[in-house]
Amino acid sequence: MKPPAFLYACPRSLEEALDLAAAHGDEAKLLAGGQSLVAMMNLRLAEPKVLIDLNRVAELGFVRRENGSLQVGAMTRHRPMEVSPTVREAEPLLSRVAREIGHLAIRNRGTIGGSLAHADPAAEWPLVAVTLDARLTLRSTVGVRSLRAREFFQGPLTTRAAPTEILTAVTFPVAPTASRFAFHELCRRPGDFAIVAVACRVTLDAAGAARAATLGVGGAHGTPLHVPEVERILAGSRGEEAAIREAGDAAARAAEPGGDVHGSADYRRRMVAVLTRRALRHAFGHPQVPS
Amino acid sequence: MSELRERRPIRLVVNGQPVEREVAVRQLLADFLRDDLGLTATRLGCEHGVCGACTVMLDGQSVRSCLLFAVQADGTELRTVEGLADGERMHPLQQAFWDHHALQCGFCTSGFLMTALDFLEKSPNASEAEIRQALSGNLCRCTGYANIVDAVAAALKGNP
Amino acid sequence: MSAGGTTAKLLGARVRRLEDPRVLLGKTRYVDDVRLPGVLAMAFVRSPYAHARIRSIDLQAARRAADVIAAFAAADIEPFLPPLRYDHDPATGRAPCRSVVWPVLASGKARFVGEAVAVVVAQSRAAAEDAALLVEVEWDPLEPVVDLERASEPGAPLVHEEWPDNVFQRVAVSLGDVAGAFRGAHVVISERFRTGRHMALPIEGRGVVASWEEASETLTVWASTQMPHVLRAEIARIVGLGEHAVRVIARDVGGGFGLKAHVFPEELLVAVLARRLRRPVEWIEDRREHLAASQHAKDQIVRAELALAKDGTMLGLRTHVTCDIGAYTEYPWPTFEANVTAMAMPGPYTIAAYAYETLSVATNKCSIGAYRGVGQPIGVLALERLIDVGAERLGLDRVEIRRRNMIAGPEHPYTTVHGTQIESGSHRQCLEKAVEMIDVRGFEARRQQARARRRRRGFGIASYVEVTAPSSQVWQMLGPATGGFEPATLRMETDGRVTVAIGVNSQGQSHETTFAQIAADRLGVPLADVRVVQGDTATTPRGWVTGGSKSAVATGGAVLRAAAKVRAKLLLAASRLTEIPAADLDLQGGAVCRAVDGAAVVPIRDVARAVWLARAGLPSDEEPGLEVTTHYEPPPLTHSNATHAVEVEVDVETGEVRIVRYVVAEDCGTILNPMVVDGQIQGGVAQGIGSALYEEVVYDENGQLLTGTLMDYLPPTAADVPRVEIVHFETPSPHTEGGMKGVGEGGAIAPPAAIANAVADALGEFSPRVNRIPLTPERVLALIEPRR
């Protein structure tokens, strides 16, 4: 399974990379971590005429906390996200999720920007970006724009990025104080793509009732799915089982899963409800098995 | 350089030795090691990044050499299984694998060794469950894994 | 652990493997490590359709592509490489089957997705793959036959148009008074079992390199194979050379499990093209080809009925096995999996009436072939499930009903309903031991604790008798036309070192160590002084296949006999040289010793040298030299046995099954190296767990393969396979040389049954019908919450 022939460019600056993207448009693909792209090229499912290697563009690798947000350069790899104290202090959901991605060898190379741009609906970074309402920075030779993650994903492996654009950074809000998160993933084996995954963050008031909540579902829809109805259901809740059940049902109703050899649409829909309940019980700090 | 190329010269260090070659940009790092350098201990089991048989160390980190192009290794330091032993003296991991019957057909072994090498350096106090998780990205069809886990645990204790 | 002690007994010792250093240090020679100057690479064009007529193939663009040497389709190669043919030979006494014509490249039509249609030979694999995409094939798609039950119905599309229907073979056997047994039954348990197609998936795929040397008129073929000598004979025959002009080398092989105990069209094509093109040619299979077009296994429906008396006595059994064999037979044997499934029952149970029918049907899928245990895991699954359901129906304890019906020790040799003799076995001991190991007594408490966590626990038991190491006569009746005997050539050199050349090769079974242990033990030399030679037809005596759990028995027996002869000669020579009677001498630690006190008398190597120089004063009717070749034909059948027990925990909201504990009580007779045996069992159980919970080759209704990469076909990982706890009962076979019984496949035979029984037990309150593997979470959930 040898990859097809291509022309290779190795820019050393973002400016060079943008020029190349502008010059070659949809005939080119950006090489980030390569953990998805090179596999697809070996399978000849991707046959770019030009490969623009971003791995020497140093300015795309950074993690910065500024003004209540965490800014992550697109070429930041999963492993640094997993172990970075800055990330863990700003938004520990990101650290938690990073360590679930594949296996160490994949995390050593794969990048957050690559994962977002690849837009696999079962992948972890797209789910978390949508759940936390992250913003993505896209640059081209003609300018820069900022897109909400919730508007970025259009379908499986499809995003709003233009072929001449490079995703350069993703910005996450810093986790509010007095908020708790959970991430639950259903996979056949560790490191596999999720059949269904749920990420959530719940912010509690002084009395321990939810004053804000956000929940996203992965693997059960064409794109990662934010379920706003969950926030409405949980408003003021202390995580009572009835509210959690209702939230699970709402998430399951909102999802439009497809089916494949790992799980039918019907199974995935049911698992959305199950994982939503488990994630919310976890976030509220309740036992996993309601009495 | 942002010129478009089909071939590029690369310079790197492999198992402590400097290497200079010209490679086709489409050549995978695994094939470069095997075909151009004759280092055939790094093996191909799937060519799509799942089985882990092709794992090598690049700049001190375990990577899947079937998911890297040789050209990307320019300026890097690579370590393969051939560079683990000190002459005929085995690395403690290799010794542990031998002592614990952690291989049968041997085809997956190089990948496990390099994966374990990275893991040992990063998680020196791992439990058995953590070892199993860490090894779950490498496939073996012969051993059923138990002895591989034992070998890695023994190497962790410094007690191969 | 001994690294090869000179005074410690080596037979039965946990000895570190001699083959490991070269693997660990990266000095192996798997087939893709063979680097011949000027070698050409091959890539295939493979059918995208399950069933389609080939209207035309245009190779022009491919032939003109960069770095391409040649490209061929069926019409180009048929003049020198006719289709493979399997024809039933009535003289074998086997059940008849259809003749199968298997074109090396699809001719006229393609019969499964992935079938080779054209081949490109180029300077590199990348160039060959590039050019393969330029081959233009015009297809007329045909309706495929994909469902194994519909395949035998009238009107189904024909996979082979020269057949009247898609039935490859039908077998019907009735043993004992089956009708009477069922008439007299208090209860009859019936079920229909469906096992999902899966496959061996060795981490090294198939591969061949061939090189023709004009000067010596020799074709040398390196192959990732389980049978160098058999492959050699087939290549010679098909390529049109004398067998003596072909050499096959299998130096290191990265796993086989039965898949590589076959001859494949691609292998023959490489051999033929190397000769015709006068250049070395290689084909190294990639994983996508492997998943689609190598060999699958165990795609069956088994309808089974068990007749029980009120007290749980098993009175009779009826089974009907339907097996989807794919588009072609395995080669060069007639696909025999269905018959093995049927004959795996009634296993260790004393059932005296058994009627079975097997129906092997062709479909538009990749062919199936023997994979570790062949049909035995399926036969055991069916019977063990019926027993559990029967126990429940009769209100009997699941262990007790088995106890009542198992062959007891004193009943050996036990004549089975098949008319075969089980010469020895420890069925009841293994059952009791496994039950004790899994702690059945403490189980209820664990079950209740799990309930509190919203999990369901269950345990399951499965026992089997495995037929191992059949004799030549039996092999030919069961299926493969191979011999059952194996050779060994043992030579002690003038410096006392020993070479043991065997006829089979290892794909992980540790032959280089275990057979060296035998020789070292019998000849009293250090293990490090013994070298096992295997895998090269030019340097080894002619043997057969590593398969059928036969190596310890057949090759082990041959090595034992050869070593005995050399030992006798050494002692005779030593007695002549020392004037001490041979009966008072022993061989230990590299020296001839006095048996009574172990005192060394003369180094063995001095005796060896004297023998070679004809100075040992041996009698004139004694052949000179210290080299012996023996051939050992094992008894018709040998039997191993085991009981597996497993405790599982089910998440009733997701359907996920977690294995809490897995135990094995087994008996493979005399153990050569317990470390190796444990490793074989642990590895076999892992594959069994894969088939029970994870692995399935899935085709859609158009015969399109949905599990085309390792992201979709899921072998279990280190996080999924528990450590198997193993206890051995060593009941030496009374019939085999050395008492070995064979253990290569056993670990894979019981897991589907044990795990299915455990899941059924865990979910008892839902009255589940557990009759399907793999038990994926979705399928388990459907047992708990039927689909809305």
> Residue C481: what pLDDT?
66
Q: For the domain that residue A75 is a member of, what is the CATH number?
A: 3.30.465.10
pLDDT in tens, C604-656: 999 999 999 988 889 989 999 999 999 999 999 999 999 999 999 999 999 99
**Mean pLDDT score of chain C:** 95
Of C288, C452, C453, the CB nearest to A43: C288
Task: Name the E strands within C183-290.
Answer: 187-195, 207-213, 218-223, 246-249, 281-284
Q: Does the pLDDT value for residue C777 go beyond 50?
A: yes
Q: CA-CA distance, C598 to A192, in Å (whole number)?
A: 60
Residues in chain B, overall count = 160
Residue C478 lies in a domain: no
User: Are C463 and C345 in a shared domain?
Assistant: yes
In-domain check, residue C405: yes
A116, A142, A173: which is the final residue of a domain? A173
Suggest the residue from C694, C778, C783, C785 to mutate for an interface test with chain A (most A CBs closer than 10 A).
C778
Position A290 scores a pLDDT of 75
pLDDT digits (tens, 9 = 90+) for A7-45: 999 999 999 999 999 999 999 999 999 999 999 999 999
Walk me through the domains of chain B, giving residue ranges and CATH numbers: 7-83 (3.10.20.30), 92-157 (1.10.150.120)
pLDDT grade, residue B159 (50/70/90)? low
Are residue C371 and residue C409 in the same domain, yes or no? yes
User: Residue C118 to residues A188, C40, C110, C326, C697: CA-CA distances in angstroms?
Assistant: 37, 16, 11, 20, 25
| Structure tokens, C166 | 């898609």
Residues C321 and C237 in one domain: no
Are residues C558 and C609 part of one domain? Answer: yes
| CA distances for C101 relative to C159, C241, C294, C323, C601, angstroms | 11, 22, 17, 19, 65
Q: Looking at C94, C112, C142, which one is the last position of a domain?
A: C142
C336 shares a domain with C228: no
Q: Which domain holds residue A26?
A: 7-53
Q: How far apart are CA C643 and CA C652, in angstroms?
A: 28
Give the 3-state secondary structure of chain B: CCCCECEEEEEEEECCEEEEEEEECCCEHHHHHHHHCCCCCCCCCCCCCCCCCCEEEECCEEEEHHHCEHHHHCCCEEECHHHCCECCECCHHHHHHHHCCCCCCCCCHHHHHHHHHHHHHHCCCCCHHHHHHHHCCCCCCCCCCHHHHHHHHHHHHCCC
CA distances to C457, C636, C652, C722 from C453, in Å: 11, 53, 11, 21
Do C343 and C719 contact (CB within 8 A), yes or no? no
What is the tens place of the pLDDT at every residue in A135-194? 999 999 999 999 999 999 999 999 999 999 999 999 999 999 989 999 999 999 999 999
Same domain for A95 and A33: no
Would you say residue C788 has pLDDT above 70? no
Beta pairing partners, B57 = B62, B79
> Which structural domain, as residue segments, surrounds residue C405?
300-472+635-784
Q: Would you say residue C6 has pLDDT above 90?
A: no
d(CA C14, CA C8): 11
Measured between CB atoms, which of C25, C717, C720 is closest to B85? C25
Looking at the predicted structure, is the pLDDT value of residue A214 above 60?
A: yes
Q: What is the pLDDT of residues C275-285, one digit of tens each?
A: 999 999 999 99
Beta strands in A174-248 (DSSP E): 179-186, 196-204, 210-218, 225-226
**Domain presence at residue A39:** yes
Read off the tokens for B125: 């106090």
Distance, in Å, from the CA atom of C116 to the CA atom of C107, rounded to the nearest integer, reads: 10
pTM (two decimals)? 0.97
Within-domain flag for C168? no
Mean pLDDT of chain A: 97
Residue A231 C-alpha from the chain's centroid: 20
Q: How far is B108 from chain C (nearest CA, A)?
A: 7
C-alpha span between C122 and C134 (Å, rounded): 13
Alpha-helix residue ranges (DSSP H) falling in C717-773: 751-762
Structure tokens, C81: 């490489």
- DSSP strand pairing (C354-362 vs C314-326): parallel
A266 and A167 co-located in one domain:
no
- Please give the residue of chain B at the shortest CA–CA distance from A55: B72
Residues C561, C684, single domain; the answer is no
Does residue C458 share a domain with residue C314?
A: yes
Enter the ipTM.
0.97
Is C120:C132 a contact under the CB 8 Å cutoff? yes
| Interacting residues of B3 by C-beta distance below 8 A, sequence separation 6+ | A9
Q: Strand, helix or coil at A63?
A: strand
Residue C702 has pLDDT above 60, yes or no: yes
Phi-psi category of C81—alpha, beta or left, where left has phi over 0 and alpha has psi -120 to 50?
A: beta
Beta bridge partners of C706: none
How much of chain B, in percent, has pLDDT values that exceed 90? Answer: 91
CATH number at residue C272: 3.30.365.10
Name the residue in chain B with its Cα closest to that of C26: B41
Cβ atoms of C209 and C281 within 8 Å: the answer is yes
| Residue numbers in B near A9 (CB within 8 A) | 2-5
Among chain C, residues having any CB pair with chain A shorter than 8 Å are 125-126, 129-130, 133, 286-288, 452-454, 653-654, 656, 694, 696, 698, 706-707, 709, 711-712, 714, 716-717, 719-720, 776-778, 781, 785, 787-788
> Which one-letter amino acid corresponds to residue A270?
R
Whether C611 and C642 map to the same domain: the answer is: no
3-state helix, strand, coil in chain C (%, to 5): 30, 25, 45
Which helix (H) or strand (E) segment holds residue C307: the answer is strand C300-308
Cβ–Cβ contact B39 with A under 8 A: no
Rounded CA separation C219/C229 (Å): 14
Whether the CB of B84 is below 8 Å from some CB of chain A: the reply is no
**Residues in CB range of C786: below 8 A, 6 or more apart:** none
Query: pLDDT tens digit string along B29-55?
Result: 999 999 999 999 999 999 999 999 999
Chain-chain contact of B44 with C19 (C-beta, under 8 angstroms)? no
Looking at the structure, do residues C603 and C650 belong to the same domain, yes or no? no
Do A205 and A224 belong to one domain? yes
Query: C374-411, pLDDT tens digit by residue?
Result: 999 999 999 999 999 999 999 999 999 999 999 998 99
d(CA C98, CA C107): 19
Q: What is the pLDDT of residue C2?
A: 33
Which residues of A have a CB under 8 Å from any CB of B? 1-12, 16-17, 19-20, 34-35, 38-39, 42-43, 50-51, 53, 55, 79, 102-106, 108-109, 189-191
* CATH number reported for the structural domain that contains residue A254 in this entry: 3.30.390.50
Q: Which residue has the tokens 């896209």?
A: A138
Residue B122 with chain A: CB contacts under 8 Å? 104
Q: What is the pLDDT of residue C479?
A: 62
pLDDT tens digits, C411-420: 999 999 999 9
Give backbone dihedrals phi and psi of C239, rounded to 5 degrees, phi first. -80, -20
Q: How confident is the model at residue C1 (pLDDT cuts 50, 70, 90)?
A: very low
Average pLDDT over residues C710-719: 98
Q: Quick check: B148 and C718 CB within 8 A?
A: yes
Structural domain tally of chain A?
3
Indicate if A256 and A204 belong to the same structural domain: yes
Q: Which residues of B touch A17 (CB under 8 A)?
A: 2
**CA–CA distance, A77 with A67 (Å, rounded to integer):** 23
Residue C79 clears pLDDT 80, i.e. is over it? yes
3-class state of residue C533 by DSSP: strand
Residues A143 and A88 in one domain: yes
Instruction: Give the single-character DSSP code of C692.
Output: I
Residues C590 and C642 in one domain: no
Helices (H), A7-134: 14-24, 37-42, 78-83, 85-90, 92-98, 104-107, 112-118, 124-131
- Structural domain includes residue A2: no
Domain boundary among C216, C249, C284: C284
The reply to whether A39 and A96 lie within a common domain is no
A290 in a structural domain: no
User: Are C521 and C9 in contact, with CB atoms under 8 Å apart?
Assistant: yes
Reported as type and span, the H/E element at residue C176 is: none
Partner chains of B (3+ C-beta pairs under 8 Å): A, C
Question: Cα(C138)–Cα(C142) distance, rounded to whole angstroms?
Answer: 13
Q: Report the alpha-carbon distance of residue C705 to residue C360 in Å, rounded.
A: 21
Please give the structure tokens belonging to residue A71: 């800014």
